[in-house]
Amino acid sequence: MSKFFFLIYGTVSYLLFFVTFLCAIGFVGGYVLPKTINDGTEGPLTTAILINVLLLGLFGLQHSIMARPEFKAHWTKIMPKPIERSTFVLLTSLILQLMFWQWRPMPETVWQVDNTIGSGILTVVFFLGFLIVLYATFLIDHFDLFGLKQVILHFQGKKHVEKEFKSPSLYKLVRHPIMLGFIIAFWSTPHMTQGHLLFAVVTTVYILVAIQLEERDLKNILGGDYMNYSASTSMILPVPKKK
């Protein structure tokens, strides 16, 4: 029964993640969803900034704390290991959905590109950013990253083996292509409002801080392999490193 429950739990968590990923595209880009980053009743600017920063901070705290090996070591003493990753994914998705729901619009225009070609290019780059994110997850085992592989293996009675270190495709250009894709997507818009700018600035700062924490963990876990990789490959900007 536990194997079946874990499988259902992991599958639901993964499906919620995928829906949330699509919602993120709609929320940031202003597509399809009834409420996007610039929609809603406009209130006092100070209140909007405070609430939006708190929402982003809640995501940042949950995501960073639960991703640390020290936390995982304690967490898996009470949380079954096969669903540890699924639980992380589930909570991340729920917090993002809360942010999409409670985000306060700040619709004052910072910049706007009215030229059809310029606007079209920025829109294409926006979708390219999210495509880079999704593609990069598949390069390092998408279903393992989001917990589905773990529950399937557990259901089959097979042991989950930690992934070997590798640097395929985009990972030969930068060490963190997923984060690069998010930054590209968050900043590429023909209509930058105060709310969108706040979102882009705070998420970019968080990404740069989170990368430092992840780098520390990867160096501790992978040792020399990752040290050599970081010495030869740029962290987030695809520029050659000096030899």
> Residue 33 in contact with residue 23, Cβ under 8 Å?
yes
242 — pLDDT class (breaks 50, 70, 90)? low
**What's the confidence (pLDDT) of residue 41?**
87
Question: Which tokens belong to 196?
Answer: 């969108």
29 — pLDDT class (breaks 50, 70, 90)? very high
**What's the confidence (pLDDT) of residue 241?**
74
Average model confidence (pLDDT) across the chain: 95
For 111-138, give one letter per residue: b (16+ CB within 10 A) or e: eebeeeeeeeebbeebeebbebbeebbe
For 90-101, give one letter per residue: b (16+ CB within 10 A) or e: bebbebbbebbe
Closest alpha carbon to 22 in 36, 7, 8, 39: 36
- Distances from the Cα of 228 to the Cαs of 55, 167, 219, 240, 242, in angstroms? 37, 12, 10, 14, 13
Strand pairing category for 109-112 and 191-193: antiparallel
Q: Which helix (H) or strand (E) holds 78?
A: none
**What's the confidence (pLDDT) of residue 239?**
86
115 — pLDDT class (breaks 50, 70, 90)? very high
Per DSSP, the residues of 201-241 read HHHHHHHHHHHHHHHHHHHHHHTHHHHHHHHHSBSSS--PP
Quick one: 34 exposed, middle or buried, by C-beta within 10 A (0-12, 13-18, 19+)? exposed
18 — pLDDT class (breaks 50, 70, 90)? very high
Question: pLDDT tens digits, residue range 53-67?
Answer: 999 999 999 999 999
Rounded Cα–Cα distance for residues 196 and 119 (Å): 16
In degrees and rounded to multiples of 5, residue 160 shows phi and psi of -80, 125
**What's the confidence (pLDDT) of residue 146?**
97
Q: Percent of the chain having pLDDT more than 90?
A: 93
Most distant CA pair in the chain: distance in Å? 59
Question: pLDDT tens digits, residue range 183-210?
Answer: 999 999 999 999 999 999 999 999 999 9
**What's the confidence (pLDDT) of residue 162?**
84
The CA-based angle 113-118-119, given to 5 degrees, is 60
